[in-house]
Structure 1
Amino acid sequence: MRPSSLLARPDRPSARPDTAAPTGAPVLRGRLLALAAITCAALNLRLVVTSLSPLLTTIGAEFGFTTTVVGVFGALPLVAFALFGLATPAVMRRLGAEATAVLSMLLAAVGQLARAFAPDTGTLLLLTAVALTGAALGNVVVPPLIKQYFPDRLAALSTVQMVAIHLGALFPPLVAVPLAEAAGWRVALGAWSLLALAAAGLWAAQWRRPGGTAAPSAVVPAGGEPPLARPVWRVGMAWRMAVLFGMVTWNVFTLFTWLPTLLADAGHSGAFSGGMVSLMVGSSLMFGLVAPTITVRAANTFPIVAFGIAGYVVGYLGIALAPQSLAPLWSVFLGLGTGLFVVMMTMINARSTTARGSASLSGFVQGAGSGIALGGPLLFGLLGELTGGWTASYVLVAGGSLAVATVVAYVERTPWSIEAAAAGHRPE
Structure 2
Amino acid sequence: MRPSSVATAADRSSARPQTRGRTLALIAIICAALNLRLVVTSLSPLLTTVGEEFGFTAVVVGVFGTLPLIAFAVFGLVTPAIMRRLGPEATAALSMLLTGAGQVVRAFAPDTGTLLVLTGIALTGAALGNVVLPPLIKQYFPDRLAALSTVQMVAIHAGALFPPLVAVPLAEAVGWRLALGAWSVIALGAALLWVLQRRRVLRDSPAALTVGAAAGPGAGGARTGVASTDGGTGTGAGLARPIWRVGMAWRMALLFGMVTWNVFTLFTWLPALLTDAGHTAAMAGTMVSLMVGSSLLFGLIAPTLTLRAVNTFPIVALGLAGYAVGYLGVALAPHLAPLWVVCLGLGTSLFVVTMTMINARSTTAQGSAALSGFVQGAGSGMALGGPLLFGLLGELTGGWTASYALVAGGSLAVAVVVAYVERTPWTIEAAAAGRRPG
Structure 1 length normalisation: TM-score?
Answer: 0.94
- The residue type equivalent to 1:240 in the other structure is R
Structure 2: runs of 5 or more not aligned: 209-216, 229-236
- The residue type equivalent to 2:16 in the other structure is A
Aligned counterparts of 1:333 and 1:179: Cα–Cα separation in 2? 28
Shift of 1:211: 1.6
Aligned counterparts of 2:160 and 2:16: Cα–Cα separation in 1? 35
Q: What CA deviation, in whole Å up to 9, does each residue of 1:62-93 have, x standing for no partner?
A: 00000000000000000000000001001001
Give the aligned partner of residue 140 of structure 1: 131
Give the aligned partner of residue 211 of structure 1: 204
Compute the RMSD of aligned alpha carbons. Answer: 1.7
Give the aligned partner of residue 385 of structure 1: 395
Q: 1:270 to 1:234 in 2, by over 3 A?
A: same
Shift of 1:8: 4.1
Aligned counterparts of 1:31 and 1:83: Cα–Cα separation in 2? 30
Give the aligned partner of residue 50 of structure 2: 59
Give the aligned partner of residue 299 of structure 1: 310
Aligned counterparts of 1:79 and 1:378: Cα–Cα separation in 2? 12
Residue pair 2:134, 2:359 contacting (<8 A) in 1 also? yes
Give the aligned partner of residue 191 of structure 1: 182
Give the aligned partner of residue 173 of structure 1: 164
Give the aligned partner of residue 247 of structure 2: 236
Aligned counterparts of 1:344 and 1:104: Cα–Cα separation in 2? 21
Q: What CA deviation, in whole Å up to 9, does each residue of 1:327-351 have, x standing for no partner?
A: 0010000000000000000000000
Aligned counterparts of 2:225 and 2:30: Cα–Cα separation in 1? 21
Structure 1: runs of 5 or more not aligned: 22-26
Aligned counterparts of 2:225 and 2:116: Cα–Cα separation in 1? 35
Shift of 1:158: 0.2
Deviates more, 1:324-333 or 1:249-258: 324-333
Residue pair 1:220, 1:355 contacting (<8 A) in 2 also? no
Q: What CA deviation, in whole Å up to 9, does each residue of 1:303-360 have, x standing for no partner?
A: 00000000001100000001x2310010000000000000000000000000000000
Residue pair 2:6, 2:361 contacting (<8 A) in 1 also? no
- The residue type equivalent to 1:129 in the other structure is G
Shift of 1:111: 0.3
- The residue type equivalent to 2:118 in the other structure is L
Residue pair 2:226, 2:238 contacting (<8 A) in 1 also? no
Shift of 1:397: 0.3
Shift of 1:30: 3.2
Aligned counterparts of 1:239 and 1:189: Cα–Cα separation in 2? 36
Residue pair 1:148, 1:221 contacting (<8 A) in 2 also? no
**Structure 1 segments of 4 or more deviating over 6 A?**
none
- The residue type equivalent to 1:196 in the other structure is A
Alignment partner of 1:326 out of 330, 336, 340? 336
Residue pair 2:13, 2:363 contacting (<8 A) in 1 also? no
Q: Are residue 267 (structure 1) and residue 278 (structure 2) matched?
A: yes
- The residue type equivalent to 2:390 in the other structure is F
Length, aligned pairs only: 416
Aligned counterparts of 1:50 and 1:113: Cα–Cα separation in 2? 15
Alignment partner of 2:22 out of 31, 45, 48? 31
Secondary structure of the corresponding residue to residue 20 of structure 1? coil
Aligned counterparts of 2:25 and 2:390: Cα–Cα separation in 1? 40
Q: 1:211 to 1:220 in 2, by over 3 A?
A: closer
Shift of 1:29: 4.5
Aligned counterparts of 1:88 and 1:103: Cα–Cα separation in 2? 11
Q: What CA deviation, in whole Å up to 9, does each residue of 1:124-166 have, x standing for no partner?
A: 0000000000000000000000001111110000000000000
Aligned counterparts of 1:174 and 1:418: Cα–Cα separation in 2? 39
Structure 2 length normalisation: TM-score?
Answer: 0.92
- The residue type equivalent to 1:171 in the other structure is F
Aligned counterparts of 1:356 and 1:9: Cα–Cα separation in 2? 16
Alignment partner of 1:149 out of 140, 153, 159? 140
Aligned counterparts of 2:318 and 2:419: Cα–Cα separation in 1? 11
Aligned counterparts of 2:20 and 2:328: Cα–Cα separation in 1? 49
Shift of 1:9: 6.5
Give the aligned partner of residue 97 of structure 2: 106
